[in-house]
Amino acid sequence: MLEIKNLHAEIENEGREILRGLDLTVKPGEVHAIMGPNGAGKSTLSHVLAGKPGYRVTDGSATLDGVDILDMDPALRAANGVFLAFQYPVEIPGVANMTFLKAALNAQRKARGEGEISTPDFMRLVRAEAGKLKISQDMLKRPVNVGFSGGEKKRNEILQMAILQPKLAILDETDSGLDIDALKVVSEGVNALRAPDRAFIVITHYQRLLDHIRPDVVHVLSKGRIVKTGGPELALELEAKGYADFVDAA
Amino acid sequence: MAAVKETVDQVRAIDVDQYKYGFETDIESERARKGLGEDVVRFISAKKNEPEWMLEWRLDAYQRWLTMEEPTWARVNYPKIDFQDIYYYAAPKGTAGPKSLDEVDPELLKTYEKLGIPLREQAVLAGVEGAKVAVDAVFDSVSVVTTFREELSKHGIIFCSISEAMREHPELVKKYLGSVVPVTDNYYATLNSAVFSDGSFVWIPEGVRCPMELSTYFRINEKKTGQFERTLIIAEKGSYVSYLEGCTAPQRDENQLHAAVVELVAMEDAEIKYSTVQNWYPGDKDGKGGIYNFVTKRGDCRGDRSKISWTQVETGSAITWKYPSCILRGDDTKGEFYSIAVSNGRQQVDSGTKMIHLGKRTSSRIISKGISAGHSQNTYRGQVKVNRKAEGARSFTNCDSLLIGHDCGAHTVPYLESANPRAKVEHEATTSKISDDQLFYCISRGLGPEEAVALIVNGFVRDVLQQLPMEFAVEAQKLIGVSLEGSVG
Ligand SMILES: Nc1ncnc2c1ncn2[C@@H]1O[C@H](COP(=O)(O)OP(=O)(O)OP(=O)(O)O)[C@@H](O)[C@H]1O
Ligand SMILES: [Mg+2]
């Protein structure tokens, strides 16, 4: 599904290289966890895949179902099924959460040549998904992320994912800031979306999340490269020993 | 073509000004000579079949105007206006309109399309020549107007053109015209008093709640009003009216200078709600062309407990100079001003309000949202003045500016003048930018850059949009999106 080869990317203004020859292959239906020290380039990878301005790709490729996504407009990437749950979700004053969701969904449907969703269908969909994530009606009416607690923001990201039904979902530290109950709710939300034609990249610092969302593959990202790949047991090993062994290898 | 004939007759029957709909009339003869002089004022008055006192009124205004100077305090720049180079009375739409939609500026058509205006109506708005299109559109309107009129007259409401009011209800016009905006109020108001061509007149009798928004009529009427409109609305004791001015479809107009005057009078316990959507031609990307919109709008809360509320969505014109104001004369009166002013390209907006607290326990509320993009300049200029005797007066101002891009400007110029130390006058102001992170957040969810800006801006103006009547709010929302196109790289 996702095929990243020798990806090099730098910060546009500084010319500092952050991703330095990163390779990653994710097959449909799989969940990959990416772990790694602060500043390793995990968020940068997610931004580059989602098309955030401010980065320059200097080498390598990233294809989704064989289509190069790095040259695509970010909005088109979204319509093609790329979704990023942000490490730091952004506040948009005055725009009701519901309005935002509907605008996003319809924009994607339009880009794919599908018709707009009817209001009743949309309401049903949102109610059902919000219910699963324990998101209140009130939160749906409030402006996007404004005054939301850290955990509420993260749950809201998962709600967006559930509504938009992406092919490839990248969750950047969605677990940080969640209390134990919220972690469960969010994990269940993610697990419910696991499907044979959908893949996840879960960026996290903690084994805890991986108890709830069982990954198929675990990677260690250090200094802009994948330096170690293993099964779920790798996360346990990291938890016990830290990154020291792998970071030196990079 | 019997239906067409019938339509034409119906149109003729409803308004003496029917020639302006663009039927086969000799338009040349309807035009005053170029420039301004006593003869032109007389010509206009004669054309309108006005009573003698009206002509005197106009001539007096003209004489006073000659002694006045153009104001320069607003934060706007434009080349000096040659007042002798303007036609003060002409068929308001260009005499040689496009022959068909193929000849209409494609940019304009694109905008119509985005606003969801049917093709037939597009042709009318763009001023395409040809009776077929015009008659069809007029046909629709005739029935609407007639039904409206019947319904309104049942309640004793007068709603007509101001020219008609002068002839049919001279005592009302005489009593109220110029009573809120005096002839010599300001340069443009004085000019308007001398040469105004038409506008609307509304009178709501005591205790009557106007059963509909007075709007649809105006959309049609809009075509007829030239550059100097004059509107007068009077709400008698305990009455209520909501008036919508404007058309949400952008209109090309060759008239550079628009100087309208609107006067509102609210008697005891009466309420007037006046909403405007203004999107005259803003000029091209480089600031060529576009309307100079110099408007004087003022409401007088003359009776105790009366209320006047202004809501405006300003997206058009090259220059906007406009301060809808309230004189809170009666005790316990309320004035409100809700404004959205969007500027893009090279537009210049200097707009705001004046709240003059004279009566006891008067209160005013000002919510202004300015959005600047491109190379535009957007100034909020507001005055809150509390008279010594205005015991218990309260005023609240909230003034937010949103900047899009790096080349535009937002300015806030509040004047607070309180002669009553116990008055409670509050002022809040913020300036913010649409952040790259906000934009990317929206875009990463599939919205195009322009959709993203429109969504964020509509969030920013939500408080004010909510003040507009429902269907108007929806149109205004679309309009804001359209006006901000090209504001993101
Ligand atoms: N826009 C930017 N401008 C300057 N430096 C940046 C920018 N984005 C990322 N960086 C730098 O790139 C490096 C990688 O950052 P990134 O956010 O990808 O790390 P991370 O692996 O997600 O870390 P964490 O675990 O703390 O979230 C850091 O040194 C960071 O300071
Ligand atoms: Mg990170």
By Cβ distance, the residue of B440, B447, B460 closest to A52 is B440
Mean pLDDT of the region B75-103: 69
Mutate to test the interface with B, among A43, A92, A106 (most CBs of B within 10 A): A92
Give per-residue pLDDT as tens, B117-134.
555 455 555 555 442 332
How far off is chain B from A232, nearest CA to CA, in Å? Answer: 30
Residue B222: what pLDDT? Answer: 38
Higher pLDDT, B350 or B106: B350
Ligand number nearest CA of A52 is: 1
* pLDDT reading at B11 higher than 50: no
Mean pLDDT of the region A156-182: 94
Residue B17: what pLDDT? Answer: 31
Tell me if chain A has a CB within 8 Å of the CB of B175. no
Cα–Cα distance measured from residue A233 to residue B226, given in angstroms and rounded to the nearest whole number: 79
* pLDDT band for position B444 (cuts 50, 70, 90): very high
Mean pLDDT of the region B421-450: 94
Tell me if chain A has a CB within 8 Å of the CB of B459. yes
Nearest-Cα residue of chain A relative to residue B466: A94
Ligand number nearest CA of A172 is: 2
Average per-residue pLDDT for chain B: 81
pTM here is 0.81
Mean pLDDT of the region A198-227: 94
Give per-residue pLDDT as tens, B243-258.
988 655 555 555 578 8
Mean pLDDT of the region B198-226: 70
How far off is chain B from A37, nearest CA to CA, in Å? Answer: 24
* pLDDT reading at A193 higher than 70: yes
- Lowest-pLDDT choice from B75-84, B175-184, B337-346: B75-84
Residue B381: what pLDDT? Answer: 95
Tell me if chain B has a CB within 8 Å of the CB of A51. yes
Residue nearest atom 28 in ligand 1 by C-alpha distance: A39
- Lowest-pLDDT choice from A123-132, B186-195, B472-481: B472-481
* pLDDT band for position B9 (cuts 50, 70, 90): very low
Cα–Cα distance measured from residue B189 to residue B198, given in angstroms and rounded to the nearest whole number: 14
Residue B301: what pLDDT? Answer: 98
* pLDDT reading at B286 higher than 90: no
* pLDDT reading at B10 higher than 50: no
Q: Are B74 and B295 in contact (CB under 8 A)?
A: no
Residue B92: what pLDDT? Answer: 42
ipTM of the complex: 0.95
Residue B309: what pLDDT? Answer: 97
Length of chain A: 250
Q: Which atom of ligand 1 is nearest to the CA of A205?
A: 25
Mean pLDDT of the region B446-459: 93
Ligand number nearest CA of A171 is: 2
Residue B47: what pLDDT? Answer: 83
Give per-residue pLDDT as tens, A19-63.
999 999 999 999 999 999 999 999 999 999 999 999 999 999 999
Q: Are B115 and B475 in contact (CB under 8 A)?
A: yes
Token look-up 């706007």 returns B76
Residue B98: what pLDDT? Answer: 56
* pLDDT band for position B334 (cuts 50, 70, 90): very high
Mean pLDDT of the region B450-462: 92
Token look-up 């404007």 returns B246
* pLDDT reading at A241 higher than 90: no
* pLDDT reading at B30 higher than 60: yes
Token look-up 């269940």 returns A188
Mutate to test the interface with A, among B436, B442, B474 (most CBs of A within 10 A): B442
Give per-residue pLDDT as tens, B160-183.
888 889 989 999 999 999 999 999
User: What are B332's two structure tokens?
Assistant: 């316990």
CA A43 to ligand 2 center in whole angstroms: 4
* pLDDT reading at B138 higher than 90: no
Higher pLDDT, B214 or B356: B356
Higher pLDDT, A153 or B49: A153
Residue B252: what pLDDT? Answer: 56
Contact between A94 and B444 using a beta-carbon 8 Å cutoff: no
* pLDDT reading at B14 higher than 60: no
Query: Could you tell which of A42, A172, A173, A246 is best to mutate to test the pocket of ligand 1, judged by most ligand atoms within 8 Å of the CB?
Result: A42
Residue B144: what pLDDT? Answer: 45
Contact between B459 and A143 using a beta-carbon 8 Å cutoff: yes
Q: In sequence order, what E strands does B247-330 have?
A: 257-258, 261-266, 271-278, 292-301, 307-314, 319-322, 325-328
Tell me if chain A has a CB within 8 Å of the CB of B437. yes
* pLDDT band for position B102 (cuts 50, 70, 90): low
Helix/strand/coil for B248 = coil
Token look-up 């893949």 returns A199
Residue nearest atom 3 in ligand 1 by C-alpha distance: A11
Contact between B443 and A75 using a beta-carbon 8 Å cutoff: yes
* pLDDT band for position A244 (cuts 50, 70, 90): confident
Which ranges in B155-289 belong to alpha helices (H)?
A: 162-168, 170-176, 187-195, 216-221
Identity at A40, one-letter amino acid code: A
Decide: residue A131, CB within 10 A, 0-12 exposed, 13-18 middle, 19+ buried: exposed
* pLDDT band for position B16 (cuts 50, 70, 90): very low
On chain B, the residues whose CB falls within 8 A of the CB of A90 are 435, 437-438, 440-441
Higher pLDDT, B5 or B38: B38
CA A16 to ligand 2 center in whole angstroms: 17
Pairing, β B377-386 against β B409-418: parallel
Cα–Cα distance measured from residue B242 to residue B257, given in angstroms and rounded to the nearest whole number: 27
* pLDDT reading at B157 higher than 80: yes
Tell me if chain A has a CB within 8 Å of the CB of B455. yes
Q: Are B183 and B193 in contact (CB under 8 A)?
A: yes
Contact between B444 and A50 using a beta-carbon 8 Å cutoff: yes
Contact between A78 and B445 using a beta-carbon 8 Å cutoff: yes
| Protein residues whose CB sits closer than 6 Å to any atom of ligand 1 | A 11, 18, 36, 38-44, 54, 87
Q: Which residues surround ligand 2, an ion (CB under 5 A)?
A: A 42-43, 87
* pLDDT band for position B471 (cuts 50, 70, 90): low
Written in H, E and C, the secondary structure of B407-425 is CCEEEEEEEEEECCCCCEE
Contact between B440 and A103 using a beta-carbon 8 Å cutoff: no
Residue B268: what pLDDT? Answer: 98
Mean pLDDT of the region A111-137: 93
Residue nearest atom 13 in ligand 1 by C-alpha distance: A39
By Cβ distance, the residue of B441, B451, B461 closest to A107 is B451
Residue B8: what pLDDT? Answer: 37
Give residue limits of the domains in chain B.
2-483
Residue nearest atom 7 in ligand 1 by C-alpha distance: A11
Give per-residue pLDDT as tens, B385-430.
999 999 999 999 999 999 998 899 999 999 999 999 999 999 999 9
Tell me if chain B has a CB within 8 Å of the CB of A75. yes
* pLDDT band for position B197 (cuts 50, 70, 90): confident
Higher pLDDT, B145 or A25: A25
Q: Are B114 and B478 in contact (CB under 8 A)?
A: yes
Mean pLDDT of the region B258-279: 93
